[in-house]
């Protein structure tokens, strides 16, 4: 351990020296001069203009093409909306009764996992109906049900191509890395430019955003198929196509289904945010209420979104984990009990809808609302907590945040480059150092250095707080099996909530500004910190702990001298995830008035400035990828040294 100090000094020393000598440095070494700016934005916009205006084939422009493609998506959207809410031919053919959808959700939950999931799924869907969110949620659901299969199919196709052609994978993989770190808003702007502002545009943006995890997991799944199974396929005499269809894809199903789950959840998260470019449904309503500061109603919609997220997540996870089972003997309904019950549900609810319209569409006057209750809470908070909250906010701003921001803005870019470069070099020579310096160079030359520093300050403050919350909670949770399980369940659940939801409570407490934004980030980004700490501490091999106990360690010594050091690489991976989450949130938080990169993207969205939106988005992505590269590499090196993983 003693040898760690000279290395740390070597890594941090030059950077610290540059910060101290800031005033002696030439100006260009502190803030990148304006003349260095590379006109990335103008270049991209030139391409965008070309694609918008210049006819490529006959008098068809690229934009005409994208609009035509977008037109196709209206088809399934209309179909699903017809089935779920609006019916067809002006109501001559009715939509499915709400009772049927509730019943089918319950049967499906029962089939996939058992009565608990059945209650959860049925209950959540029932909530949507009873609390008057039926129409909005079914619009959102139909967008998800259209976007998810399309995104899944594209992702699957790309994944297969990548596995079959090495060259393609070499291009695709880094692209996926960038796409998965690009903020939501960066997807919205090009879609708005090329397709317009509408529900279908929102759906298309959702497809684009949700596709990368599917491609990634398809690649991982296909690569992970055991070589013996592939050989068994070859020995059976499979052609290449048969191999793919009958052997590789089915054998990779578990991993691919994890991808399906992720696609569905990403779709829901994005379709809420896509309301900025006209997606209808719950997200649109939420946005509207938030903008008019009707917090109570916003909360109610938030709860509906959360219930929908939990239902979709649990059902698709159960679907992923579902293993095939042999059929039971006997009559048809005995061999297929679930199909039988589904048929019964359909028959009974159809009959009921025939008898009473209440079973088909719940009339408005019968729905409940919780908005007054939430409004009451909001009022109470405003009246009773106004002073303490204000005091807290101002104190934090004046004493911590503003000094920290000033400090960050004072750091010369050269110092950052030296620090990042030397850590990268130490971890993996040019292999790591060059990419991270490349990321940094882009941020520096893009003309958004100052904004990036503000983003970096907000993210690092939030990450510090997250670590401060996550570590103790993780340590607490790791002490007992039941605590770990509980925390795991809570983390899983909170993580399924679309990130936009987290803005609602902070607006309620802090209105707008840096403190509100940072609070939202902290709530959202603490999840991985807690989760990885718990997992890391709990996965320390049992025999090592037994050895420590027999050597006479006290529980405290075991924690700090055995478990902590061994779990530390895993905890750092948690910190890495926390940074990623924080970056996503900090951009969304631009909605409540921050002054960093998020604000720039937000403005780009207002002005439909695709170039700017993309360049700022890449800045965010590259900040994240820099941290990601360094931390994952460090964790891998450290795990190898410790002989774990």
Residues contributing to the site for another protein (CB under 8 A): 226, 228-229, 231-232, 234-239, 242, 246-247, 250-251, 253, 323-327
Least distance (Å) from another protein to the CB of residue 232? 4
Which residue number, 112 or 454, has a Cβ lying nearer to another protein?
112
Secondary element (H or E) of residue 61: strand 60-61
Which residue number, 193 or 252, has a Cβ lying nearer to another protein?
252
Q: Who contacts 359 (Cβ-Cβ below 8 Å, separation ≥6)?
A: 97, 98, 99, 349, 352, 353
The candidate with the shortest Cα–Cα distance to 501, out of 209, 152, 180, 140, is 140
Least distance (Å) from another protein to the CB of residue 127? 35
Which residue number, 156 or 268, has a Cβ lying nearer to another protein?
156
Cα gap 189→9, rounded to integer Å: 44
Least distance (Å) from another protein to the CB of residue 452? 42
Report H helices in 54-198.
62-81, 98-112, 115-130, 134-164, 166-181, 184-194
First to last CA, the chain: 22
Least distance (Å) from another protein to the CB of residue 152? 18
Least distance (Å) from another protein to the CB of residue 109? 22
Which residue number, 67 or 246, has a Cβ lying nearer to another protein?
246
What would the two tokens of residue 172 be? 């695709």
**Phi and psi of 322, rounded to 5°?**
-65, 125
∠ CA 352-354-358, rounded to 5°:
65
Task: State whether the Cα torsion 135-139-140-141 is positive or negative.
Answer: positive
Least distance (Å) from another protein to the CB of residue 247? 7
Cβ atoms of 260 and 152 within 8 Å: the answer is yes
Burial class (CB in 10 A: 0-12, 13-18, 19+), 365: exposed
Rg (CA), the chain: 27
Which residue number, 236 or 486, has a Cβ lying nearer to another protein?
236
The candidate with the shortest Cα–Cα distance to 521, out of 570, 580, 476, is 580
Least distance (Å) from another protein to the CB of residue 237? 3
Cα gap 393→513, rounded to integer Å: 10
Cα gap 160→165, rounded to integer Å: 9
| Angle formed by the axes of helices 371-384 and 503-510, nearest 10° | 40
Least distance (Å) from another protein to the CB of residue 113? 17
Least distance (Å) from another protein to the CB of residue 499? 35
Which residue number, 229 or 637, has a Cβ lying nearer to another protein?
229
CB atoms within 10 A of CB 388: 9
Least distance (Å) from another protein to the CB of residue 335? 10
Number of residues written out for the chain: 645
């Amino acid at each position: 351990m003693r040898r760690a100090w000279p290395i740390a000094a070597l890594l941090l020393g030059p950077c610290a020296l540059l910060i101290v000598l800031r005033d002696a440095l030439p100006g260009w070494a502190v803030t990148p001069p304006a003349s260095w700016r590379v006109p990335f934005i103008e270049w991209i916009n030139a391409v965008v203009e070309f694609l918008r205006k210049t006819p490529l084939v006959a008098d068809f422009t690229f934009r005409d093409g994208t609009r035509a493609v977008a037109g196709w998506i209206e088809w399934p959207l209309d179909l699903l909306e017809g089935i779920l809410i609006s019916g067809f031919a002006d109501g001559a053919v009715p939509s499915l009764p709400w009772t049927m959808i509730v019943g089918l959700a319950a049967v499906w939950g029962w089939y996939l996992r058992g009565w608990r999931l059945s209650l959860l799924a049925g209950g959540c869907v029932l909530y949507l109906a009873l609390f008057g969110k039926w129409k909005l949620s079914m619009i959102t659901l139909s967008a998800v049900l259209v976007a998810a299969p399309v995104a899944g199919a594209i992702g699957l196709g790309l994944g297969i191509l990548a596995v079959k052609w090495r060259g393609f994978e070499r291009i695709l993989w880094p692209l996926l890395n960038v796409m998965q770190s690009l903020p939501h808003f960066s997807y919205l702007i090009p879609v708005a430019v090329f397709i317009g502002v509408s529900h279908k545009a929102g759906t298309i943006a959702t497809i684009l955003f949700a596709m990368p995890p599917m491609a990634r997991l398809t690649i991982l799944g296909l690569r992970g198929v055991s070589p013996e199974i592939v050989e068994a396929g070859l020995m059976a005499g499979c052609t290449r196509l048969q191999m793919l269809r009958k052997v590789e894809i089915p054998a990779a199903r578990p991993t691919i289904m994890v991808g399906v789950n992720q696609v569905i959840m990403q779709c829901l998260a994005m379709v809420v945010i896509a309301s900025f470019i006209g997606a209808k449904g719950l997200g649109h309503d939420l946005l509207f209420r938030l903008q008019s500061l009707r917090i109570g109603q916003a909360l109610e919609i938030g709860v509906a979104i959360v219930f929908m997220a939990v239902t979709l997540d649990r059902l698709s996870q159960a679907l992923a984990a579902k293993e095939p089972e042999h059929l039971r003997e006997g009559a048809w309904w005995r061999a297929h009990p679930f199909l039988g019950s589904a048929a019964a549900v359909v028959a009974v609810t159809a009959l009921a809808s025939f008898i009473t319209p209440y079973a088909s569409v719940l009339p408005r006057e019968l729905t409940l609302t919780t908005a007054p209750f939430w409004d009451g809470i909001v009022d109470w908070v405003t009246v009773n907590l106004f002073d303490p909250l204000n005091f807290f906010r101002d104190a934090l701003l004046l004493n911590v945040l503003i000094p920290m921001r000033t400090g960050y803005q004072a750091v010369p870019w050269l110092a950052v480059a030296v620090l990042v470069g030397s850590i990268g070099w130490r971890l993996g020579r040019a292999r790591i150092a060059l990419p991270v310096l490349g990321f940094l160079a882009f941020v520096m030359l893009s003309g958004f250095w100052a904004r990036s520093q503000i983003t970096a300050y907000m993210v690092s403050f939030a990450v510090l707080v997250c670590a401060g919350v996550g570590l103790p909670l993780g340590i607490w949770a790791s002490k007992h099996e039941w605590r770990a399980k509980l925390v795991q369940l809570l983390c899983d659940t909170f993580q399924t909530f679309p990130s936009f939801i987290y803005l609602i409570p902070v607006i309620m407490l802090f209105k707008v500004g840096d403190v509100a934004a940072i609070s939202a980030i902290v709530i959202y980004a603490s999840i991985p910190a807690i989760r990885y700490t718990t997992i890391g501490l709990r996965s320390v091999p049992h025999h090592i702990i037994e050895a420590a106990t027999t050597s006479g360690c006290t529980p405290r010594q075991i924690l700090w001298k055995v478990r902590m050091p061994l779990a530390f690489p895993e905890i750092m991976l948690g910190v890495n995830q926390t940074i990623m989450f924080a970056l996503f949130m900090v951009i969304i938080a631009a909605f409540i008035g921050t002054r960093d990169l998020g604000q720039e993207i937000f403005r780009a969205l207002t002005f439909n400035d695709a170039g700017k939106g993309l360049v700022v988005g890449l800045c965010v992505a590259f900040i994240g990828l820099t941290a990601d590269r360094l931390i994952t590499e460090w964790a891998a090196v450290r795990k190898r040294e410790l002989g774990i993983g």
